[in-house]
Amino acid sequence: MALRLINGLFYYDHVLDIDNQALIDEIIATKESPKGEYNKSRPHPYDVDMQHTFYEDVPLKEETFDLLNKKISEVTSQIFKIPNAMSCTEVWGHLVPPGEQTMIHNHDDGERIGLSWVYYPHMPDKSGNLHFVSQTDTQRIMWEIKSTPGTLYLFSSNVLHFTPRNASNETRVSISGNTIASLELKSIIQNDVEFKNNYWYFVGRSGENTLSEDGEEEKDN
């Protein structure tokens, strides 16, 4: 697991031990189904903003949500050194066929204390790497993240991101989600000044952590 820095934006990447083919098969089968059920992994369309990418995405089975939620909880617990530090509020699959792309967006609702993430069960070459966007008063800077299959990317929910046109001849398969901090983590963030600084530093807002010269801080699993 590694904490990485790009132009003031921080994110974690982590390889997950999970059955990628089962995830791929489920997402494709659900997308091709004439009707998909709305469950806890995907709010009903009437409950989300019209600009939300849920309208392009694929709901997952309850057991798949639970599996991914467990994996994300384990990773965030390693990051913050607190059991069950964060849990998923939404999880969804996403298919990007050749020639298509994902537009610039973020997952920030202005209220939730948590992180967002994307995981790639299938990431063909030239299918469009994850890009983070740094917005200033005068310009918009884009930073490409070399995205690899089997890797989870955790980042601040307020970070703008997108994927460019899929230039391969295969469909890219990804899974995304949002997390919320546990009551214990929220309490620590609100009451522990040093911890609060480290947390907000991680999500790209403030802090005083020190990275190595190559902009990377390795974390032992």
CA distances from 7 to 56, 72, 122, 135 (A): 30, 25, 28, 11
How high is the pLDDT of residue 164?
A: 94
pLDDT for 158 equals 84
Q: Tell me the pLDDT of the chain (221 aa) as tens digits.
A: 676 766 667 788 999 999 999 999 999 988 876 554 544 444 544 454 434 444 457 889 999 999 999 999 999 998 888 899 999 999 999 999 999 998 888 888 777 788 899 999 999 999 999 999 887 778 788 889 999 999 999 998 888 899 999 999 999 999 999 999 898 888 887 777 666 666 655 665 433 333 333 334 444 44
Please, what is the Cα angle at 214 between 209 and 217, to 5 degrees?
Answer: 40
Identify which of 174, 179, 191, 207 has the alpha carbon closest to the alpha carbon of residue 10: 207
CA distance 78 to 85: 9
Torsions phi, psi for 99 (to 5 deg): 90, -10
- Asked whether the beta carbons of 133 and 161 are under 8 A apart, the reply is yes
Domains, the chain, ordered by start: 7-41+51-206 (2.60.120.620)
Q: Is the dihedral of CA 51, 56, 61, 66 positive or negative?
A: negative
Q: Whose CA is closest to 120, among 145, 87, 143, 88?
A: 145
pLDDT for residue 72: 94
Where does 25-139 show beta strands of DSSP type E? 86-96, 102-105, 115-122, 130-135
Q: Do residues 102 and 129 touch, judged by C-beta distance below 8 A?
A: no
Give the pLDDT confidence score for residue 141 in this predicted structure: 83
For the chain, what's the residue count?
221
**How much is the pLDDT for 204?**
52
pTM for the full predicted model: 0.79
Q: What is the DSSP string of 107-121?
A: ---SS---EEEEEEE
pLDDT confidence of residue 65: 95
